[in-house]
Amino acid sequence: MHFPAHCFAYFLLNYTLRDSSLGYHLPYMRSAIALAQRAFSADEVPVGAVVVLANKIIGRGYNRSMSQSDPTAHAEILALRQAAKRVGNYRLTLATLYCTLEPCAMCAGALVLARIKLLVYGARDTKAGAIDSHLNLLAAGFLNHRVEVISGVLAEESSALLKEFFRLKRKRKTF
């Protein structure tokens, strides 16, 4: 196959832009993964999330449903609560939420309520994910706010942590 030179230049430009924006997101996703590791150590399902506004982390959370006996204590919810408290406003209009796992229906709803600008997530949650795996909630026509989405950032690291967690759980049950 043969492409004219300008097509190749266009491809290169797009590739570079995409690459540099991915580079911007990586440190924040690594912070979310570090939080997921803390959940792992606390024997909670290892999911972590951070909220970033103007290049600064303003909210952190990791899954604490079991230790707090709270079905809503997901990483995203805890990170959103901390961020909103810090800025003194429940609307986080220009903020980005990074999460190691595709958010569930509850967390997707919370992202809309918080008017989050961008969601960046790692691994897909084929069981309960409400962004791409099921529902496609953020693209629902009845909602009056659109959250942009970037998926698959450091997905393998996030899903490896989850796989290891559930492998250990199963092993413990067996013995």
Q: Which residues are catalytic?
A: 76
DSSP 60: E
State yes or no: residue 104 binds Zn ion (CB under 5 A): yes
Asked if residue 108 binds Zn ion (CB under 5 A), the reply is no
Interface residue with Zn ion among 57, 73, 107, 119 (CB under 5 A) is 107
CB of 107 to Zn ion, least distance (A): 3
Given the complex with Zn ion, which of 45 and 57 has the nearer CB atom? Answer: 45
28-58: string of b/e by CB count within 10 Å (b at 16+)?
A: bbbbbbebbbebbeeebbbbbbbbbbeeebb
**Greatest extent of the chain over all pairs of C-alpha atoms, in Å:** 63
Among residues 8 and 166, whose Cβ is nearest to Zn ion?
Answer: 166
State yes or no: residue 45 binds Zn ion (CB under 5 A): no
- Burial of 135 (C-beta count, 10 Å sphere; 0-12/13-18/19+): middle
Smallest separation (angstroms) from Zn ion to the CB of 103: 5
- Contact flag: residue 60 with Zn ion (CB under 5 A): no
Taking the least distance from each CB to Zn ion, the nearer of 92 and 107 is 107
79 makes contact with Zn ion (CB under 5 A): no
Q: How far apart are CA 111 and CA 147, in angstroms?
A: 8
> Any idea what the Cα angle at residue 109 is, between residues 145 and 101, rounded to 5°?
110
Residue numbers at the binding site for Zn ion (CB under 5 A)? 74, 104, 107
